[in-house]
Amino acid sequence: MSHMQTRETRLRVLVLGYSGILAGIAGFINSVALLVLAFPVGNLTALSTQLGMDSANPLLYESCMIALIVGGFLAGAAGAGAVLATVQTHTSARHAAVLLAEAALLLAAAGIEIPGFKALLAAAACGLQNAMTSDFPGMTIRTTHFTGTITDLGLILGRSRHHGVDRWKATVLATTVVLFIGGGATGALIGGRLGHNALLLPAAACLAIAMAILWYSRRRSSRMASAISALEPAHAPLVDRAPAG
Predicted confidence (pLDDT) per residue in 212-228, tens digit: 999 888 877 676 666 66
Interval 28-79: pLDDT, tens: 999 999 999 999 998 888 888 888 888 777 778 888 999 999 999 999 999 9
* Residues in Cβ contact with 110 at an 8 Å cutoff, skipping those fewer than 6 apart: 196, 197, 198, 199, 200, 203
Measured from the Cβ of residue 165, the count of other Cβ atoms closer than 10 Å reads 13
- Looking at the predicted structure, is the pLDDT value of residue 205 above 90? yes
- Looking at the predicted structure, is the pLDDT value of residue 92 above 80? yes
pLDDT given at position 235: 47
pTM of the model: 0.85
Buried b (16+ CB within 10 A) or exposed e, 59-76: eeebeebbbbbbebbeeb
> Where do the domains of the chain lie, and which CATH numbers do they carry?
10-222 (1.20.1250)
Question: Mean pLDDT across the stretch 109-121?
Answer: 95
- Looking at the predicted structure, is the pLDDT value of residue 163 above 90? no
Residues 126, 73 contacting (CB under 8 angstroms)? yes
Q: What number of helices (H) and strands (E) belong to the chain? A: 8, 0
Q: Is 54 exposed, middle or buried (0-12, 13-18, 19+ CB in 10 A)?
A: middle
- Looking at the predicted structure, is the pLDDT value of residue 104 above 70? yes
pLDDT given at position 238: 45
